[in-house]
Amino acid sequence: KEGDLFKPTALDIAANDIAVIWVGRNNAHELDTVLLDVLRIYNLFAKVTSRIIVLSVINGEAEYTGTTSHSSITAINEQLKFEFGDSYLDIRQVLIESYDPNESQSVIDYEKGTTPSSLREDNVHLNAAGNQIVAYTLYSHMLDHGWL
């Protein structure tokens, strides 16, 4: 019912389900909390399926190379890659590399190591183009692994 806390159990998961875990954006300054959150979700799904994708945390406009926020996000992503290996997908880097070389702000964002403004709706959230890149990347990843 509305307002109740959603707490899935292994009984809610089927063996052919594909779990996409994308957390940590709103608390990227709390490395241990983000890692524990991802680990808990991962372990819940791992009881039933091995088809799990852990996405990297993306950064926004003011979180460019050299800032504390950028350092926090890259530290989380390095740890996620280490902890989850083949289940880890660096969507942050995919988005950064999807910059528009014909748009000056997009090039600046690329050079600063942040999600290009051409793929963002605001300072952080992805627009339709950014979401399309994420969707296509996930789809390709699932096809490559024989899950679809």
- In degrees, rounded to 5, the angle at the alpha carbon of residue 104 between the alpha carbons of residues 100 and 106 is 45
**What are the pLDDT digits (tens) for 56-73?**
999 999 999 999 999 999
The per-residue pLDDT for range 10-48, each reduced to its tens digit, is 667 778 889 999 999 999 999 999 999 999 999 999 999
CA angle 27, 130, 23 (to 5 degrees): 25
pLDDT digits (tens, 9 = 90+) for 121-138: 999 999 999 999 999 999
Task: Please tell me the predicted confidence (pLDDT) of residue 4.
Answer: 73
Residue in the structure block whose two tokens are 């692994």: 145
Indicate the residue type of 25.
R
Of 90, 91, 120, nearest in space to 103 by CA: 120
d(CA 123, CA 52): 29
> What is the C-alpha separation between 67 and 59, in angstroms, rounded?
11
How crowded is residue 18: how many other Cβ atoms within 10 Å of its Cβ?
15
Mean pLDDT of the chain: 93
What are the CB-based long-range contacts (under 8 Å, 24+) for 36-40?
38/80, 38/83, 38/84, 39/83
pLDDT at 2 over 80: no
Looking at residue 12, its pLDDT comes to: 72
Q: How far apart are CA 5 and CA 108, in angstroms?
A: 41
For position 11, what pLDDT does the model report? 66
